[in-house]
Chains A and B, each alone.
Chain A
Amino acid sequence: MVSMQSSKRPNPFVNRQPLSGTGREAFLARVRKGLGHDLGKSPVAGAAPVLEQSLIRQVAGDDAGRVERFVRKMTENKGVVKRVAADRAAVLAAVDECLAAHAVKRGLMNLQFLGADFGVQEHLRGRGVQTIEWGSAECFKESFSCDVSITDARAGLADTGALLVWSDVGFGRSSTLVVPVHVTLLPASRILGDMIDGLDLVLRQNNGAMPSNVVVINGPSKTGDIEMKLVTGVHGPKYMYVIVIEGM
């Protein structure tokens, strides 16, 4: 228990003065004064508390069963998961299964990192779907009127059953967001244990720098604002499918 009696800190209710000054210097001076520091310079902070890995991971630390946990948790999050072998026919059949229940006319394509394209775009065109590739001149504007988006993901996170994506020249901030149906192709080898591994991956693959936008997606868009009743598909995708490609 902190003893509140013996402190020498000023009581916030007596001698209340309006905050003095405007702008950066006055702002920082008020903070330094509040901390009892020299008003002109911020002393360097010592080491922040140690991040004990086991405390953060807790359950998803083991490698075994990572894919199983990812599938189970993503399903709990109301995502639909399909596990297929790494061959063209199987992947395309899974894509067809995902789209069977939806009227799809325009598809946004943002497959950048999969390492194999399985001919998904060609296949959709063959089905009469107009496709728009992220990276084409009109992709930003056109993406808003697409009814499905097919993307890959940088990683899956088994702990909570989430996808990890980040933006760059080839991958949009909003290509995983603006459509009612989102289908993700995810190689099984990209499924990591915990979010902390995912954030490591972000730094490792970007040489320690941050991409402009990193998003951890933990299922379809939802809200509980009305009586805490679950409603899916508010502004982001209402339906989320993840095709986990085994042996890849």
Chain B
Amino acid sequence: MPTTLDNLPPSAGATGSDKVHAADLPRGMALPVFNPDFKAAAHLSSADDLLHAAHENSIVKKWYDRRNLLATDLPDGDGLRALAGNIKAHTLDHLDYYLEQFEANVIKNGGHVHFASNAEEANQLVVQIAKQTNSKLVVKSKSMVSEETELNHALIAAGIETVETDLGELIVQVANDHPSHLVYPIIHMRAKQIGEVFAKFFKVPFTDDPQVLAEMARVYLRERFNTADMGVSGVNFGVAETGSIVICTNEGNGRMCTSRMRVHVALMGMEKLIPRFQDLPVFLKLLARSAAGQPLTQYSNIITGPKRAGEFDGPEEFHVVIMDNGRSRILASDYRDTLRCIRCGACLNACPIYRKVGGHTYGSIYPGPIGALITPLFNGLEHHEHLPQATSLCGACYEACPVKINIPEMLIAMKGDLKLVGKVPWYEKWVFRMWTIGLKSKFAYVLGQKMQRFAMRHLFKSKDGWVTKLPGPAKGWTEVRDFPQPPKKSFRELWKERRQNSV
């Protein structure tokens, strides 16, 4: 039956419990969590046909084709990715130096730099700047770091009207939803659902035509751009040698927020730096290709300080807030390479697990393979024990990554770290204990094998050589597929017979 508006089921990913705000989180957690149980959520979302249709319609049918079309324009894409990865690795290895260089240059250009240890401090700084500059209306360009700090929440709580201006983020804000993708925040929604949300919000007749929906947003936001006092943006790249920040947008909202307001505040994770101005082409080419399968973002916007004497537009005040929020802990660890990430979202698109369960299932604002890695790093593995398991280890994420983050290898290492936080399940411990006994003595090995074969052949329900129902922790396997029965004789027995016969 085709899905109509009347029987439109809610997207399972979107019906998760209410967001736990960072301020209410246990000590040591840094990211807001809106769905703490990956396993339970995955059960729901992996049966969500609407979600799969949305992913099929966008990622599978469009992103892959667009990206592949561009391959002819970049014959040595792999070489360029390696260069990008090396530049990022070098920057991270000398991050203290580049942070100081960046800071000195922003100040030289007439800007202000603030250092925030955590999300709360970052929000306080932005609210303080808004109050000091008497800003009543803030327009926001898309920024994952501001999702991390829940900046909107903090600004609105301080009585400052705050409006998202990226179309996807505006829909998220209006629908009171969460982004489910790093680049396409509402990839989990079909146009019909968005049409519903807008019809209700703008009190207009329903339409699911993306062009008309975008036009509504344009008209609504244009008035805000004309009257807002302060623009808040993220930072795609911070250039240390010039003190510039780079913002890439397709819609132009990033330029609106940074050129038409009295005040501009850029919120930046400390890992966003690159050393040189001439490093930019390397990253700008890769970012757009990986994120959207386009050769460049429509607007690569390089900002170096506030409005200068005699200029007619640009902010009078320019602030950069650089945030740690746990990044220094990651920098110190074997997971340093995760800080190379430029948030292009390619690993999400490439991941069979992400496409099946959707971004909300991961439970934090960073979904997909990179999210499965960094969410536990930000919040503690004990709170996200299932995330390192959210992988098939197929390596598609590593292949898609423009800065060569070896995600599968680090996920394996993180699975190993589960034992450090006491999150290895009893059956896994039991299996390994049995193996330890078996590998220490031939007798125990042979006996164990015999018992296992007997159990699998005679104790459980089976059909045509396949076990159809297993108990306990193995239940999950046979719920969705059968398990092959072991043969009557073991390899050792067959080998022995063969030797005897041939003598």
Query: CB of B174 within 8 A of chain A?
Result: no
Query: CB of A51 within 8 A of chain B?
Result: yes
Smallest beta-carbon distance A31→chain B, Å: 5
Contact assessment for A12 and B328 in the assembled complex, using a CB-CB cutoff below 8 Å = no
Choose among B214, B270, B326 the residue with the greatest number of A CB atoms under 10 Å from its CB: B214
Contact assessment for B277 and A210 in the assembled complex, using a CB-CB cutoff below 8 Å = yes
Contact assessment for A234 and B253 in the assembled complex, using a CB-CB cutoff below 8 Å = yes
Which stretch of A20-28, A81-89, A91-99, A121-129 is in the interface? Answer: A20-28
Q: What total of A-B pairs shows CB separation below 8 Å?
A: 322
Nearest residue in A to B302 (C-beta to C-beta)?
Answer: A214
Contact assessment for B244 and A210 in the assembled complex, using a CB-CB cutoff below 8 Å = yes
| 0/1 interface trace, chain B 319-339, chain A, CB 8 Å (1 if under) | 000101110111111111100
Q: How far is the CA of A124 from the CA of B485 in the complex (A)?
A: 83
Contact partner of B409 (CB less than 8 A), chosen from A1, A44, A144, is A1
Chain B residues near A48 (CB-CB < 8 A): 87, 90-91, 275-276, 279
Nearest residue in A to B184 (C-beta to C-beta)?
Answer: A225
Smallest beta-carbon distance A149→chain B, Å: 13
Contact assessment for B284 and A195 in the assembled complex, using a CB-CB cutoff below 8 Å = yes
In the complex with contacts A167-B311, A227-B210, A233-B218, A215-B279 CB distance below 8 A: no
Q: How far is the CA of A2 from the CA of B420 in the complex (A)?
A: 21
In the complex with contacts A19-B324, A235-B165, A222-B58 CB distance below 8 A: no
Q: How far is the CA of A218 from the CA of B258 in the complex (A)?
A: 18
In the complex with contacts A28-B96, A235-B256, A224-B331 CB distance below 8 A: no
Contact assessment for B27 and A212 in the assembled complex, using a CB-CB cutoff below 8 Å = no
Contact assessment for B96 and A42 in the assembled complex, using a CB-CB cutoff below 8 Å = yes
In the complex with contacts A16-B28, A44-B97, A196-B218 CB distance below 8 A: no
Contact assessment for A231 and B210 in the assembled complex, using a CB-CB cutoff below 8 Å = yes
Which stretch of A54-62, A112-120, A183-191 is in the interface? Answer: A54-62
Chain B residues near A156 (CB-CB < 8 A): none
Nearest residue in B to A176 (C-beta to C-beta)?
Answer: B255
Chain B residues near A45 (CB-CB < 8 A): 90, 93-94, 97-98, 275
Contact assessment for A177 and B333 in the assembled complex, using a CB-CB cutoff below 8 Å = no
Smallest beta-carbon distance B295→chain A, Å: 4
Query: CB of A205 within 8 A of chain B?
Result: no
Chain B residues near A19 (CB-CB < 8 A): 117-118, 324-326, 328-329
Smallest beta-carbon distance A79→chain B, Å: 10
Contact assessment for B99 and A221 in the assembled complex, using a CB-CB cutoff below 8 Å = no
In A16-44, the 8 Å CB interface with B consists of 16-19, 21-24, 26-28, 30-35, 37, 42-44
Query: CB of B259 within 8 A of chain A?
Result: yes
Contact assessment for B96 and A32 in the assembled complex, using a CB-CB cutoff below 8 Å = yes
In the complex with contacts A48-B275, A56-B282, A177-B252, A4-B300 CB distance below 8 A: no
Q: How far is the CA of A27 from the CA of B309 in the complex (A)?
A: 33
Q: Which residues of A contact B (CB under 8 A)?
A: 1-2, 4, 7, 9-14, 16-19, 21-24, 26-28, 30-35, 37, 42-46, 48-49, 51-52, 55-56, 58-59, 73, 77, 134-135, 139-140, 144, 159-162, 167-169, 172-175, 177-178, 194-196, 199-200, 202-203, 210-229, 231, 233-237
5 more CB-based (< 8 A) A-B contacts, given A4-B409, A12-B335, A224-B62: A31-B270, A56-B80, A200-B278, A203-B277, A225-B171
